[in-house]
Amino acid sequence: MELIKKEKIKMKPRWIFDSRRWGKRLLFGTGIVAGSVLIALVDFLMSLRRAKEYLNYGEVGREIFWEKMPVGESILGLMFIGMAMIFFEKIGDNYKMNRWTRIGISLALAGSSSLIVRLVMKRFELELGLSFI
């Protein structure tokens, strides 16, 4: 108490805690946005490369499918979604939710925003496709 009275121990300013709170929200949002954009990009590249069609051609077809799969983008996308899941738990009282509810909400958010991104991409698919070719 003496140290407190003599102001040798001070309270940290409020903005530190506020920025921590907002930082977590920002990281969660970044994870969802980046993850969903990357997953939409993977889907776009898969359709551009017609990868799914090869799944009908047995073992060799499956090998070609995996060769055509944009692995780096997929891993990165999943990593971002994973990051979002981690930070979702740290926001407010979210830890009180069941683990599967938290995972479900994060996946639903990532999935729906990925769908929106994909729809927007579809609108410009021709131009995008040409630029990739």
Cα dihedral sign for 121, 126, 131, 132?
A: positive
Q: Which is nearer to another protein, 13 or 58 (CB)?
A: 13
Alpha-carbon distance 111 to 102, whole Å?
A: 14
Minimum separation from the CB atom of position 79 to another protein (A): 24
CB of 108 to another protein, least distance (A): 19
CB nearer to another protein: pick between 10 and 59: 10
Contact footprint for another protein (CB under 8 A): 1, 3-5, 9-14, 16-17, 20, 95-99
CA distance to 8, 22, 33, per residue, from 79 (Å): 43, 21, 12
In whole angstroms, give the CA distance from residue 82 to residue 125: 28
Least distance to another protein, CB of residue 9, Å: 6
C-beta closer to another protein: residue 14 or 56: 14
Q: How far is the CB of 99 from another protein (least distance, A)?
A: 8
Rounded CA separation 29/39 (Å): 15
- CB of 66 or CB of 95, closer to another protein: 95
